[in-house]
């Protein structure tokens, strides 16, 4: 560890205190305190100490119990501080109790100062290891928590800064942005950088749930609450107790569920559907929407009081077209992760292909970019992704003509060839989106298995698929 190590000696015997002080001051920054009040003042002034040498009896009238109270207070203020106890009580039970209360070691007076110095050095080695392990764990969490939410553009730098700022706040966060901008990734980043990181992160995709099920999904139900409720079931709020609940597309909730959600945010309690028992929860809520909630409030489809509760800490996720400088970083990351996952040789992106991707509008945002990269990898025979491996909508983003228009060259074109090209591109896009699995791709295109097999043979993509495809 860089910088001096801080030692605090808490001892009412001035002669012993100074003896220990002079023995340690050559190696450490040493402070002294003759009372509990002075010790707490020193801890506050130095923002804690690495090691506290604590006398269990701080006055002639003091008891060992008072000393243990001081030990607990020191550990409460700075949990990773090493406390080494000094006591005139020779009983073995006192030493055992000191260790149980959190002391690193215990010395019975009189003691050899060389033994104390040895124990201090050993305790600092362990403290350094513990702090380094915590730092590494925090770094792993910090790095992995951002996952695909990466970028170095000013827009994303602001997002990362906001995530770090709000992570440890108990307040509700509202993530706003178009579909595919990474709202769930941002929610996970907030969770994994917060003090709740070791507790559950529970996502709920509100728009994917039927209106008749959303209330029981969120709040649970009791046995017999409705036909088919053969057993009690906890809801997502209970699952997320002490953790984070992520409500995606919160604007799709009906007004009845909005009312119940508002009560949970205000009172931290609710009843299951069909139940009378009040359930108390400690949940940090992160909500997301791709709609303008204020417009929904104006039209009467969203409660204004709930909107104000959700909009405490708003974060806007920018669309990909507003951060085109991040496209090379994102695309390269997707190439690396997909090739690694599919156990394929690492591929690179040709400059011409990258330029086409940077000029594309990306209406589907990062999710669309990821699908395009997967498709290109699947279709590329060599080690380079070329423009021809990109779908038509990406390759054609820099040609004349507005959306939906086909530019016909002056000398004309062959319609059957254009139809075949379009058919192949549809096939390739579906296969890429389905991860090379033909049955899934067939469903995406509304084809039978036989039709899918025929098209794969027709366009020569059989060799590019995995065996289970």
Q: What is the pLDDT of residue 137?
A: 54
* Integer CA distances (angstroms), 321 to 154, 296, 315, 402, in order: 13, 26, 18, 17
pTM: 0.57
CB neighbours of 99 closer than 8 A, spacing ≥ 6? 105, 106
pLDDT in tens, 75-133: 777 777 899 999 888 888 888 888 888 888 889 888 999 999 999 998 888 888 777 76
Q: What is the pLDDT of residue 146?
A: 58
Concatenated DSSP letters of 382-404: SSEE-GGGS-HHHHGGGSSS-TT
Domains of the chain: 6-135 (3.40.50.2300), 151-318 (3.40.50.300), 321-407 (1.10.8.60), 411-469 (1.10.10.60)
Sign of CA dihedral 123, 127, 128, 130: positive
Q: Which residues pair with 315 in a beta bridge?
A: 175
Sign of CA dihedral 22, 23, 26, 31: negative
CB 272 within 8 A of CB 232: yes
pLDDT in tens, 132-157: 766 655 555 555 555 557 888 899 98
pLDDT in tens, 316-350: 999 999 999 899 989 998 998 888 888 888 899 99
Q: What is the pLDDT of residue 411?
A: 62
């Amino acid at each position: 560890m860089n910088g001096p190590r801080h030692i605090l000696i808490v001892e009412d015997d001035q002669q012993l205190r100074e003896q220990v002080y002079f023995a340690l001051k050559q190696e450490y920054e040493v402070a002294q305190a003759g009372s509990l009040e002075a010790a707490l003042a020193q801890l506050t002034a130095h923002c804690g100490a690495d090691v506290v040498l604590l006398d269990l009896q701080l006055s002639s009238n003091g008891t060992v119990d008072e000393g243990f109270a001081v030990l607990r207070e020191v550990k409460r203020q700075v949990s990773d501080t090493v406390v080494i106890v000094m006591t005139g009580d020779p009983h073995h039970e006192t030493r055992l109790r000191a260790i149980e209360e959190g002391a690193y070691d215990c010395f019975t007076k009189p003691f050899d100062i060389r033994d104390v110095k040895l124990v201090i050095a050993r305790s600092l080695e362990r403290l350094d290891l513990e702090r380094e392990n915590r730092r590494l764990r925090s770094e792993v969490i910090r790095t992995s928590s951002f996952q695909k939410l990466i970028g170095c553009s000013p827009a994303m730098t602001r997002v990362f800064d906001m995530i770090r700022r709000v992570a440890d706040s108990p307040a509700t966060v509202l993530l706003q942005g178009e579909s595919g901008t990474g709202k769930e990734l941002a929610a996970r980043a907030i969770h994994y950088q917060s003090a709740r990181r070791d507790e559950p992160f529970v996502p709920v995709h509100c728009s994917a749930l039927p209106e008749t099920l959303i209330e029981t999904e969120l709040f649970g139900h009791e046995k017999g609450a409705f036909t088919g409720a053969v057993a009690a079931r906890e809801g997502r709020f209970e699952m997320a107790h002490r953790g984070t609940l992520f409500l995606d597309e919160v604007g799709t909730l009906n007004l009845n569920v909005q009312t119940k959600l508002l009560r949970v945010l205000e009172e931290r309690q609710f009843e299951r559907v069909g139940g009378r028992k009040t359930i108390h929860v400690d949940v940090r809520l992160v909500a997301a929407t791709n709609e303008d909630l204020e417009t929904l409030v104006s039209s009467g489809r969203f409660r204004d009081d709930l909107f104000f509760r959700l909009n405490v800490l708003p974060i806007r996720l920018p669309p990909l077209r507003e951060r085109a400088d991040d496209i090379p970083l994102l695309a390269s990351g997707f190439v690396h992760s997909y090739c690694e996952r599919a156990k394929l040789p690492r591929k690179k992106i040709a400059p011409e292909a990258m330029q086409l991707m940077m000029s594309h509008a990306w209406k589907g945002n990062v999710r669309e970019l990821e699908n395009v990269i997967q498709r290109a990898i699947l279709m590329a025979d060599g080690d380079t992704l070329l423009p021809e491996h990109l779908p038509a909508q990406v390759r054609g983003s820099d040609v004349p003509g507005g959306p939906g228009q086909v530019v016909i060259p002056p000398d004309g074109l062959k319609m059957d060839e254009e139809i075949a090209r379009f058919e192949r591109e549809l096939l390739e896009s579906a296969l890429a989106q389905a991860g090379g699995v033909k049955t899934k791709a067939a469903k995406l295109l509304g084809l039978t298995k036989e039709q899918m097999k025929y098209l794969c043979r027709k366009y020569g993509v059989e060799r590019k698929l995995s065996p289970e495809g």
